Amino acid sequence: MFGAGNADADLMFIGEAPGANEDRMGLPFVGQAGKLLDKLLAEVSMDRKEVFICNILKCRPPDNRDPHPNEIEACQDYLWRQVDLIEPTVICTLGNFSTKLLRADSTGISRLHGYEEVRIIGPRAVRLYPLYHPAAALYTPSTLEALRKDFHRIPDLLALGPPEQPQSFEPIPEIDETPDEPDEPPLAVGEPEPAAQLGLF
């Protein structure tokens, strides 16, 4: 399950891994956490069709356990390629795993949620905005309130536009090292042109 949504989205959500419902339907965030995500999007006048949603892992871990480091490593190149293709302005990481991966840092989500920063993800700079995972907010009112408050800042982040991009270098043109053919000496006046060679050898 690679993800779903607008392939030209300015806003991208990256979660952890597919759950049972996602695995069955082949779409991300279609369970209770997905319904909460849809509700929060509606509160900021946005729709799921406007954004792109995916996970770090592209397959469901057994028994919904946490992703293992080797699984994250196996899937991360697919994620970097998705970011490269979609070119989002803002990436919202949902929960600890995606936040730690995209920041390349072990700081937990409870310290980082609601604080945006410019990060280089692959070849481009994005506004990285960590959020609590909607699943964590389903049964904890204080987490839901924090998630809702953080969510309502997303339109302002999008309004800032994309951050300054890292300088890209034009590729150096390849040098044709094939030696020039020597010019044929001019024919003397009245000298007949040589017969064309048959292409047999």
Instruction: Tally the domains of the chain.
Output: 1
Give 72's contacts (C-beta < 8 A, 6+ positions apart). Answer: 56, 57, 97, 101
CATH of the domain at 13: 3.40.470.10
pLDDT tens-digit series, residues 58-87: 998 888 888 999 999 999 999 999 999 999
Q: Is residue 48 part of a domain?
A: yes
Position 62 scores a pLDDT of 86
Q: Above pLDDT 90, what percent of the chain? A: 68
Name which residue leads in pLDDT, 171 or 72: 72
Distance of alpha carbon 153 from its chain centroid, rounded? 21
Q: Is residue 111 part of a domain?
A: yes
Q: Is residue 118 part of a domain?
A: yes
**b/e sequence 73-90, b meaning 16+ C-beta within 10 Å:** eebeeebeebbeebbbbb
Mean pLDDT, rounded, for 156-165: 95
Residue range(s) defining the domain that contains residue 39:
4-159
Q: Is residue 199 part of a domain?
A: no
pLDDT of residue 170 exceeding 50, the answer is no
Q: Is residue 52 part of a domain?
A: yes
Q: Is residue 39 part of a domain?
A: yes
Q: What is the pTM of this model?
A: 0.81
Q: Is residue 164 part of a domain?
A: no
Q: Is residue 196 part of a domain?
A: no
